[in-house]
A and B are shown apart, each in its own frame.
Chain A
Amino acid sequence: MKKPVLEITGLQTHFFSDDEVVRAVDGVDIRIEEGQTLGLVGESGCGKSVTSLSVMGLLGDTGGKVVAGSVFFKGKDLLRLSDKEMRRLRGHEMSMIFQEPMTSLNPTLRIGEQIAEGIRLHLALDKKKARSRVLETLKAVGIPRAEGIMREYPYQLSGGMRQRVMIAMAMSCEPDLLIADEPTTALDVTIQAQILDLMRKLKEKKETAIMFITHDLGVVADMCDRVVVMYAGQVMEEADARELFANPGHPYTRGLLGSLPKLLSGQKRLGVIPGNVPVFKQVPSGCRFAGRCSYQTEKCLREVPPLLKAGDRHLARCWQTFGLAGVEAGTADKAGLQ
């Protein structure tokens, strides 16, 4: 097994408002190895973004606080670092791309300066060297006439171009970990394909580990080595991408896969998962997905299932994993099956 770049264990991030606590991330374990691309999948509000912001230390004044767990990044527990130590890592050894390229760049600063300031800060390069480095990164993300773009302001660029600039910014200090929070969701389909293509090339060249947050399983199949499916603040399933698509071990994952359109099947309606994500305030006592699950049993309502082995390097948080239609039984975790 390769060395992990990022190892999240038992992460709990809660949001505190006047008299209630929202447990947005509730005991999440994620491990990303060197050069690996891990897809973090789930519906809106399942805690994907909060997980990534907790890792980056960017919860800021969202009202969220990490209350338990550890986040080891290259051997250091990020949750125990001081603000100053975190700032030295952020944008340098780990960086992030956001969903909204249109609003993620500062409208009053030139593109060149926005990329250069991180380079000057982290790599201690002088103005001239930082400039040539900016030029290099802009070219690497496929921006034509990079020299001119450096002097332009964000409003002069299209969404796709801005996302390329964001990627250039994130990659400029050659990080070991890149967190991409739905980097293509706000873009046109054709531009999406270009950006994904770019990210794939960069990752092959630089061997950067990537945490790829998305709700698009098509993108996952395209990009990721391993997948973590989240639901209501918990990990529901984790497997290698190929295994997950071939052999989904959790009814929720099956539902997600079932709601994808298929080109040749001639189906009239897309599959849907009935119901909504539970409001965090009223998280059920048993399995969090039980209310929407067609395989639900009494046990599901009573006891929270642990992550159970569902195959090779494959875990699923479900009592029924092996009862699912078409799934051959394997060796179950004894603690799990009674």
Chain B
Amino acid sequence: MLKFIVRRLLGMIPILFVVSVLIFSFVRMIPGDPARLAAGPDASYQDIQAVRAKLGLDKPMVTQYLIYVKGLLHGNLGTSLKSGRPVTKVIGSRFMATFWLTVASMAWAFVIGLFIGVLSAVKRNKWQDYAGMFSAVSGISLPAFWLGLMLIQVFSVQLGWLPTGGFASWQSLILPSLTLGSGVAAVIARFTRSSLMEVLKEDYTRTARAKGLPPNVIVWKHALRNALVPVVTMTGLQFGFLLGGSVVVETVFSWPGLGRLLIDSVAFRDYPTIQGEMLLFALEFILINLVVDVLYALLNPQIRLE
């Protein structure tokens, strides 16, 4: 297991290299000139050229890339064109906000989604199933901006229980994580339901019943563990997406996270910040996939990590 993890971590290096090349070149394909934006609307041609030289954007692309990679190897992601602060600091200050929002959203989405999924599978074609799947479809279909605004309207404006936005305390997490998690909970519920229904038809479920085990032991001990494999994959992917920051939810709740930072950086053609964020997303996805693979092995002993 340890060997597997180390090998996978080493395997990240070439992937990240390719990713860095792609990001670097794609960012420069976005129309617009960062030097002009940084110099301001009234700047003269000379001013712009001066800024360009200062930012190092006058050099050939390959040279720029080599400088960038050299910085990366020293843990330096460059300097934000917009704020003039190091990109690591800019991203770092935003990362935790997104991280906690993601963790809170995923935590309750997983618990609620799993519960609804199990209930629907066990009570197939009964009212519990219909209610569960109705809420799942609603969770997927309700647009986040609408749900977010409705929650703010009710719980912040009218009842005054929770803050309307920003990240000041744990209370500020409640509404945005509900908004962000509802879609994920819905997907988890549907995956759990279909996967568990399959497993409940398996021969070994019949064996468990033939042993005289009570239904809840059959579902939670015998069936669910087998049913969780696809659910875990999907949850991992969702986790990765959410860690990238949700632009809509972060905007609705004025959340100081990575999603809004990315939008701002793109608007300002802040190359180093965009590159830094994208590289971080790639890294997150790779790590999550690794965690998912390890979880597989824990769930199903037949899957061996080699």
Contacts and interface: CB of A to CB of B under 8 A. Distances in A.
B210 A58 contact: yes
B204 interface: yes
Contacts of A133: none
A109 interface: yes
Contacts of B203: 98, 100, 103-104
Contact of B222 (A87, A106, A122, A155): A106
Contacts of B247: none
A86 B209 CA distance: 10
Nearest to B298: A108
Given A92-B212, A118-B211, 6 more contacts: A91-B213, A95-B210, A104-B206, A106-B208, A107-B302, A109-B222
A91 B212 contact: yes
The residue among A95, A108, A166 with the most chain B CB atoms within 10 A of its own CB is A108
A117 interface: yes
Contacts of A109: 221-222, 225
A89 interface: yes
A153 B207 CA distance: 16
Q: Could you say which of B202, B204, B213, B214 has the most chain A C-beta atoms within 10 Å of its C-beta?
A: B204
B293 to A, nearest CB: 16
A153 B210 contact: no
Interface in B182-238: 200-204, 206-214, 217, 221-222, 225-226
Nearest to B223: A106
Interface residues of A, number: 30
Contacts of B204: 103-107
B213 A121 contact: yes
A109 B299 CA distance: 10
A90 B209 contact: yes
Contact of A118 (B212, B222, B299, B302): B212
B64 interface: no
B97 to A, nearest CB: 38
A153 B301 contact: yes
B300 interface: yes
A104 B299 CA distance: 18
Contacts of A61: 124, 200-201
A169 interface: yes
A60 B122 CA distance: 12
A104 B207 contact: yes
B301 A87 contact: no
Given A117-B211, A155-B301, A155-B302, A107 B226 contact: yes
Contacts of A86: 212
What is the interface of chain B mostly: helix, strand, loop, or mixed? helix
A114 B301 CA distance: 15
B202 A103 contact: yes
A91 B222 contact: no
Contacts of A104: 203-204, 206-207
Given A103-B204, A104-B203, A56 B213 contact: no
A256 B127 CA distance: 49
Contacts of A95: 210-211
9 contacts: A87-B212, A87-B213, A90-B209, A91-B213, A100-B203, A104-B207, A107-B204, A107-B302, A118-B212
Interface in A80-116: 86-92, 95-96, 98, 100, 103-109
Contacts of A118: 211-213
Contacts of B202: 103
A122 B214 CA distance: 12
B276 to A, nearest CB: 41
Given A104-B206, A105-B204, A106-B204, A122 B299 contact: no
A95 B213 CA distance: 12
Contacts of A166: 207
Contacts of B206: 58, 60, 98, 104
B50 to A, nearest CB: 66
Nearest to B304: A155
Given A98-B203, A107-B204, A90 B301 contact: no
A96 B212 contact: no
A92 B212 CA distance: 8
B207 A89 contact: no
Nearest to B300: A108
B211 A90 contact: yes
A107 B286 CA distance: 28
Contacts of B299: 108
Given A107-B302, A108-B299, A155-B302, A91 B226 contact: no
Interface in A121-169: 121-122, 153, 155, 166, 169
A40 to B, nearest CB: 17
B210 A56 contact: yes
A14 B209 CA distance: 21
Nearest to B209: A58
A107 B302 CA distance: 7
Contacts of B208: 106
Contact of A87 (B200, B214, B302): B214
